[in-house]
């Protein structure tokens, strides 16, 4: 029997291999058992799917299992983003939210994410409990979707309109629309496309059509996947900022007027700068182990508490639920801010930055320079090494045993192992090695003063560990 394991952000598998109707039934049953045990007086969930292949089939399968367990389902009609499910869990007072999505994974994957009643990722403890409750087989008798709708066990809900209205109530959209600035949006064929067309019908759109195969491209908002969008901005000469969201629209990518990628490290810094320096807001800044050290420097410069967590937004969310958190964000593009649910949301973060630009009349580069004036400039690097499991485990064992004293000409001064292995090289430079929790990949990150130096560190590390 295939063992279902949740990674840093849900369970994911290749469609028709691991991610099958039968296995989805098993996960749904484990989730239903968790709800009945822990929320016996609130047998309700919010459920939806993103734009991936067979999303509707898998979502309806989950709905049928839930109803067989006397759990009522508020089911989104059509595709929705992950933040829509999270907000829906709050607005509809659900015990849990479930979305069928593999987020930024390649098109062959689908997945299953759990969202808590507070509108963010379920805690690691909850996920462990659900995982341990997954049965080997499911024998429940399932009713048809039509029968369940007629009996009111399933109710269709419009989560997209709910989300759009929430955005309209929290942002000065008129300021953005009347700023004289030009904006563009690339949905990567993902679930943010319809909401953004409703909010900003007159901006430039790219890949805002339904394409369950994502044109063969993993909908991850990193530069190598976004060269078409970058070229569009460069060629237009009028677009001031380009926003990108991933497959389920919870991660962000960003481009400046020159068509240059602005990474999440800079986005987190911009958010801290805007919310604290311009809007007078306060709270803790939380980021993950792979993020730039400049976030710590900026928080300290502004007198804000800073905390570093393991990688995975669920660790940030745990803090946001119980503490006063201003900004919580991770290197991979998942960021949340005070004043909304404790959930990463690419559209929400993008509009926060567009509002920042509109209110100040400044370009993205001008605002980044304001941050640099406080903490200094920097650059980040990252490569994903697709290697065999044997080599991956050898590298990790070498890291754990302290067998690396240097990477090329870079001498290791200190090692941290909160989540992966971060090798400090002096002068604010570091390189980090970590195995992916959802893919057969070894990730290597670096930080230095320039992009060239960050890339040189990556190559030195790669050469050493794969020698």
The per-residue pLDDT string of the chain (467 residues; one tens digit each, 9 = 90 and over) reads 799 999 877 899 999 999 999 999 999 999 999 999 999 999 999 999 999 999 999 999 999 999 999 999 999 999 999 999 999 999 999 999 999 999 999 999 999 999 999 999 999 899 999 999 999 999 999 999 999 999 999 999 999 999 999 999 999 999 999 999 999 999 999 999 999 999 999 999 999 999 999 999 999 999 999 999 999 999 998 999 999 999 999 999 999 999 999 999 999 999 999 999 999 999 999 999 999 999 999 999 999 999 999 988 989 999 999 999 999 999 989 999 999 999 999 999 999 999 999 999 999 999 999 999 999 999 999 999 999 888 999 999 999 999 999 999 999 999 999 999 999 999 999 999 999 765 678 999 999 999 999 999 999 999 999 98
> In angstroms, rounded to a whole number, what is the distance separating the alpha carbons of residues 81 and 398?
40
HSE, side-chain direction, 13 A CA sphere, residue 129: 14
User: Residue 246 has what pLDDT?
Assistant: 98
DSSP strands (E only) in 247-354: 252-255, 261-262, 284-288, 306-309, 325-329, 335-337
Cβ atoms of 458 and 465 within 8 Å: the answer is no
* DSSP β-ladder status, 442-448 and 379-385: antiparallel
Q: Which secondary structure element, helix H or strand E, spans residue 460, and what is its range?
A: helix 451-465
Residue 198, Cβ neighbours under 10 Å: how many? 14
CB 203 within 8 A of CB 242: no
pTM: 0.94
Place of tokens 């462990």: 128
CB-side exposure of 219: number of CA atoms within 13 Å?
Answer: 38
Sheet strand arrangement including 154-157: 11-14, 109-116, 96-100, 44-49, 72-76, 154-157
Collapsing DSSP states into helix, strand and coil, what is residue 145? Answer: helix
Cα separations in angstroms, 319 against 88, 306, 307, 308 = 21, 12, 10, 11
Q: Which two tokens stand for residue 168?
A: 């309209």
Q: Of the candidates 257, 438, 267, which has an alpha carbon nearest to the alpha carbon of residue 345?
A: 267
Start-to-end CA span in the chain (Å): 37
pLDDT of residue 438: 57
Closest CA to 335 of 357, 354, 320: 320
Tell me what pLDDT residue 137 has. Answer: 95
pLDDT for the residue 389: 86
Q: Is 290 left (phi over 0), alpha (psi -120 to 50) or beta?
A: alpha
Q: Give backbone dihedrals phi and psi of 137, rounded to 5 degrees, phi first.
A: -140, 160
Question: Is residue 154 within 8 Å of residue 63, measured between CB atoms?
Answer: yes
Q: What are phi and psi of 47, to 5 degrees?
A: -140, 140
Provide the pLDDT for residue 206: 98
Strand pairing class (325-329; 335-337): antiparallel
């Amino acid at each position: 029997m295939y063992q279902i394991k949740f990674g840093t952000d849900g369970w994911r598998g290749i469609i028709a291999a691991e991610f099958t109707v039968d296995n989805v039934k098993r996960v749904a049953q484990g989730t239903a058992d968790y709800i009945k045990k822990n929320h016996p007086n609130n047998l309700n969930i919010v459920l939806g799917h993103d734009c991936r292949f067979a999303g509707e089939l898998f979502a309806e399968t989950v709905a049928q299992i839930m109803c067989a367990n006397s759990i009522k389902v508020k089911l989104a009609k059509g595709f929705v983003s992950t933040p829509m499910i999270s907000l829906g869990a709050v607005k509809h007072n659900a015990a849990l939210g479930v979305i069928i999505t593999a987020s930024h994974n390649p098109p062959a994957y689908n997945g299953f994410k759990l969202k808590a009643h507070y509108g963010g990722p379920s805690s690691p403890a909850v996920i462990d409990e659900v995982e341990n409750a997954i049965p080997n087989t499911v024998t429940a008798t399932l009713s048809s979707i039509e029968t369940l709708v007629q009996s009111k066990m399933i109710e269709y809900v419009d989560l997209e309109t709910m989300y759009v209205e929430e955005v309209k109530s929290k942002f000065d959209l008129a300021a953005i629309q009347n700023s004289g600035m030009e904006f563009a949006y690339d949905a990567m064929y993902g679930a943010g496309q319809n909401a953004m067309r409703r909010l900003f019908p007159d901006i430039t759109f790219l890949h805002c059509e339904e394409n369950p195969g994502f044109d063969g491209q993993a909908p991850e908002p990193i530069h190598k996947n976004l060269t078409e969008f970058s070229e569009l901005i460069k060629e237009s000469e009028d677009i001031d900022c380009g926003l990108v969201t991933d497959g389920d629209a919870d991660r962000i990518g960003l481009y400046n007027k020159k068509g240059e990628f602005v990474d999440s490290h800079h986005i987190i810094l911009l958010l801290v700068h805007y919310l604290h320096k311009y809007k007078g807001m306060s709270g803790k800044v939380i980021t993950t182990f792979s993020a730039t050290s400049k976030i710590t420097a900026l928080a300290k410069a502004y007198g804000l508490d800073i905390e570093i967590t393991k990688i995975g937004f669920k660790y940030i969310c745990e803090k946001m639920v119980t503490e006063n958190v201003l900004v919580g964000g991770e290197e991979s593009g998942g960021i949340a801010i005070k004043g909304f649910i404790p959930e990463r949301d690419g559209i929400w973060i993008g509009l926060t930055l567009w509002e920042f630009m509109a209110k100040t009349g400044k370009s993205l580069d001008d605002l980044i320079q304001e941050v640099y004036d406080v903490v200094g400039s920097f650059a980040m690097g990252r490569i994903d090494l697709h290697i065999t499991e044997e080599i991956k485990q050898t590298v990790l064992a070498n890291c754990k045993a302290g067998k690396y004293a240097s990477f090329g000409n870079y001498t290791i001064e200190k090692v941290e192992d909160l989540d992966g292995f971060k090798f400090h090289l002096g002068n604010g430079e570091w390189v980090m090695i970590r195995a992916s929790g959802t893919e057969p990949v070894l990730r290597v990150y670096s930080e230095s003063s320039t992009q060239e130096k960050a890339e040189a560190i990556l190559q030195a590390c790669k050469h050493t560990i794969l020698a």
